[in-house]
Every structure is written in C-alpha cells, then in structure tokens.
Structure 1
Amino acid sequence: MFAIDQLPTAIQDKIKKNKENDGTSSLIGSAGYTSADDDVLFDCIIALSMGKNVLLKGPTGSGKTKLAETLSSIFYQPMHSINCSVDLDAEALLGFKTIHNNDGKATIEFVPGPVINAMKQGNLLYIDEINMAKPETLPILNGVLDYRKTITNPFTGEVVKANQNFGVIAAINEGYVGTVPLNEALKNRFVVIDVPYVQGEVLLQVLKSQSKLEDEKLLKKYVTLSADLIALVENGNLSEEAASVRALLDTCDLSVYLPPLRAIKRGIVEKLEDDREKAAILNIAQTLFE
C-alpha cells in the first residue's frame, strides 16, 4: 500500500509546504484512486515533482480522472480542468476578453482561463481526453508543455511564464470513438503512464469505500461481474465503457434499493448502443445474480 513516507525527503518537504500554503483550496481534488500496482501512483508523483508532464493512458473508467484528483490531493495543489472536445478553442484554454462596467465607464478586460490561471498560480492543469481536441487546437500549448513553460497570450500579448510549481496531467483514451491519434511531437512532451483496470481485492475495497452498498456478498459478485466484463473487453467483444468502474459504482449504489439485475440494466447495460453487447452483459449477470 502506497504511503507518503515512501517518497524522497525533498518531495515530502514540498508536500508539507503546499499543505501550509494551499491546503484549504476548494480546487484541490479528492483522494480515492486505488490500484494493485503502487508504481502507477508513485511514478506519477515522481514525474510531477521533477517538472515532467504526465500523460495517463488507459481504458474508459479505469480511474484516470480519480488518479489526477488524488495527485492534486497528495500534493495539496489546486487543479484546473479542461474537458476536451471538437469545440475546444483558444478561449476555452487561455481565457477571453469581456466588457466590464466600472463606475459607468466600459472597459475591456481579460478573464483568464484554466491554462493561464494554473501557470500563474503554480497549480496543476488537468487536460481530460486530450485526443478529443482538434489537432490544430493543441499546438498553442507547445511552449507550455516543453522546457520553456511559457506562452504568449494571443489575446493580450502578455508573455506568461509558469510558476515553478506548475504541473500538467493529461488523460487519453486511445482508439475511442471521436478521438484522433495524438501528434507525436505533443506526445513526446509527456511521460506516459498506463492506468490499468482496477480488479480483484483492490476493486472490492474501492466499491466498499466509494459506493453506498454494504452487502459484502453482493459486492463480491459485482467484482466477479467486473472481471467477466473486462475479459470480454480485452477479447474485443465489448465496449470499454461497459467495464467502467464509474458505471459499476452507479450499479452498486442502485442495488441498495433495486434488485441487482435491474441495477445492472440501469447502471451498465442501457448506457450501451449495441444490442449484442447488452445481451452479453445480461447473460453474464443472470448467471451471477439469479
């Protein structure tokens, strides 16, 4: 089990200093990421503390966002988030100009976005599903993500150099619908860390701590269901989202008041589009829960 005292002294000192300065910020993420492989969390901490950008690569629902929040929590460092899509533009990243009325006089002011805020304040920047953005949008971040940690704000002309504590975490779902291959020049600006599905005893502990379901016998059956779904995903017979921990947590919560099969339909099955996938999940569920 990972513990802070396993970290180098310099990193422990940095965490202590952050706790004193930013420990009460509302932008600090909540902990909760758990993995059978402590190296995932440890390596992320080491990379971030060395000023590296971290790219979390893993299937939908493997806990990449929860891992980013946990890193924010461990470092006591506020985190600004960007949810990428085809509509992402420079304003969503950097900020925008607006008209401000000050004592009856209209002035144009710049409202900083997540990138500028994180850079200036020395916070974490989380870029979720980075390969959902249009390839022509992301090059604006090249200077932010390389050794310069600098950007010229196109809206104000200001040259912004990041505070030394600034860090970047991005997440990617490779091969997912709507994504595009990440430009190699951009990917090379990151340390890449694989985030696997949570399974077995570790998954059981996650369900116990993060769901409302307390029936341990039922929780263990859901762990078995998850293992069966992951096997189908790995064989190419099921979409990744069907094995999402997020969907499984929804299902466990519903099971407090609904029969398991109905909870599975609402929490997992009906989120899918393919009828064959729906039938496959129901077949497995009926075997486990009837």
Structure 2
Amino acid sequence: MKVAEKTIFYKAVCSEIEIFNQINQLRLPLLLKGPTGSGKSRFIEYMANEVNKTLVTVSCHEETSATDLIGRFIIKGSETVWIDGPLSIAVKNGYILYLDEVAEARPDVIVAIHSLTDHRRELFIDKLGETIRAHSDFLLVASFNPGYQKGFKELKPSTRQRFVALSFDYPKPKIEAEILVNETGIQADIAQKLVAIGTKIRNLTELGLTETVSTRLLVDAAKLINNGLPKRLAVHVAVVEPLTDEQETIQALNDLCDLMI
C-alpha cells in the first residue's frame, strides 16, 4: 500500500482533468485504460494532490485477494485482533483507492468491490458480519491494460459497465518531449530525439514486441543521459533491453537507435 504525499508534474493531453473533477464531485467509480507507462498512475497521483485527498494505491497481481484488501484477523500477544486492509481504510476515511492493474487480481476482489461501484456504496466484511457505508468522500479508481490483458485476463462487461472509463495513450511528440524536459532537466533537442526513437519503435509492428516503448522508459533514458551516461548506452539499457530478450531484435533496435540518436 502506498500513500501519495508529494506534488508531481503532470501534463494534460486532453480533457482528463476536467472529467476527473466531475467524477470526483459525483463520486463515480473510474476506470483508467491504457498501455504500460502511458501515465495512468501518474495522472491519479497528480489529481489526488490537486483535490487534496489521500491516495491509497494497491498494485494488484495474481495473488491479490479480497482478504488482502479488506483486512484479516491476526494474533497479537494473547489476543486475536482485526486489522483493516487498504480498501476498508479508504472506505472508512474517504480516501481515493487506486487498484492498479485490477484485472490481475483474483476474482474475489472484483466481487468485493461490486457493492462499492453502484448506488449502495457499501463494503461487506463477511469475517466480521458487518456492512460499512462508504464515507461521502470515498472514490474508487482502477486501471488495466487492455492490450496486454486481451485474451488472457479481461474484465467482464458486468464489471466494466460499473465504471466511468478514461482511455490513455502515449502523448503526442511535442507533449512527450515536454514531459521529458520537466521530469529530468534534459536538453530539449535530446528529449526530441528520444521521443522520435520511441515513436519509431511504436510503429514497428513487424518486430512482434509484446510491449512497446513507454513514456516511462524514455524518462529513464533521459535521466541516465542527464546524469552523464553516453546517449547510445543509456538508450540501450533503458529502452531496448527492457523490451525484448531476442538478440536479433535487440540488435535491430540498437541499429535503429544508433542512427537516430
């Protein structure tokens, strides 16, 4: 569980800030859709700071269960005591709960949040036999990667239709370059070259990459370059290597990046 505290940089690419403010006022559940590293988590952290609300983030994986979110009994000394999980804490205190990659979690997690995504706004804790009414400020936000999950782990229509949804994609080159400059302090011309590399690789569908170059990878490369690492080496370790383990593909990407950098 992570609680956001510091102010961070975020560059709006469409009407997502206005949409979030409306959703926050109406307390509607929100689903963020988009590829890895396209700014979903950064966006919700930024908005939590903007509206001055505590953000509780849970990174979901295949072992994430409803018990992990709701809470459990533990042995403390000679007593058995109940410990609230991040979902219960957020519901009671009116925080924003962000379930990152919610489709990765076990099915019982989806069942647990259903009653929080409709008019009831309630959380049932079966181990305590209690039903908790959500605080008036509570907001549920989830994210998932439709491209990665397709045909593997997908959200059911009955779950998706409980959310208002926002789609994210990689920013346009001008905005992405501005993000790199603001995030890392790198020179604008180098930022533009990195963005050009990212854009080129994203269009190389013939390489069969499972994931493509995210803004996050470009930020990492920019940080390394700005810290003194040679540009070609920074691009290799921060952009090329994370994308694939196939040596032929690595060589092809390296050749492309060398020409462009």
Whether these two folds match at TM > 0.5 is yes
- Which of 192, 210, 213 aligns to 1:243? It is 213
Aligned equivalent of 1:211: 184
**CA RMSD of superposed structures (Å):** 1.9
Aligned equivalent of 1:84: 60
Aligned equivalent of 2:236: 265
2:250 counterpart SS class: helix
Gaps of 5+ in 1: 1-25
Residues 85-164 of structure 1: pairs in structure 2 closer than 5 A? 85-101=61-77, 106-164=78-136
Residues 1-290 of structure 1: pairs in structure 2 closer than 5 A? 27-28=4-5, 30-37=7-14, 39-101=15-77, 106-176=78-148, 179-213=152-186, 215-232=187-204, 235=205, 237=207, 239=209, 241-256=211-226, 257-271=228-242, 272-289=244-261
Normalised TM-score (structure 2): 0.91
Q: How many residues align?
A: 256
Contact 2:48 2:55 in 1 (8 A): yes
Give the deviation of 1:236 after TM superposition.
Answer: 6.2
1:206 counterpart SS class: helix
Give the deviation of 1:35 after TM superposition.
Answer: 3.2
Q: Report the Cα distance in structure 2 between the residues aligned to 1:165 and 1:275, rounded to whole angstroms.
A: 51
- 1:1-49 per-residue CA deviation (whole Å, 9 max, x = no partner) reads xxxxxxxxxxxxxxxxxxxxxxxxx644643221332x12221221222
Give the deviation of 1:122 after TM superposition.
Answer: 0.4
What letter corresponds to residue 221 of structure 1 in structure 2?
K
Aligned equivalent of 1:21: none
- 1:188-215 per-residue CA deviation (whole Å, 9 max, x = no partner) reads 11001111212322111111111143x2
2:203 counterpart SS class: helix
Moved over 4 A (4+): none
Q: Report the Cα distance in structure 2 between the residues aligned to 1:148 and 1:236, rounded to whole angstroms.
A: 48
Normalised TM-score (structure 1): 0.82
Gaps of 5+ in 2: none
1:255 counterpart SS class: helix
Give the deviation of 1:283 after TM superposition.
Answer: 2.6
Aligned equivalent of 1:13: none
1:248 counterpart SS class: helix
Provide the identity percentage. 23
What letter corresponds to residue 261 of structure 1 in structure 2?
R
Q: Report the Cα distance in structure 1 between the residues aligned to 2:192 and 2:72, rounded to whole angstroms.
A: 50
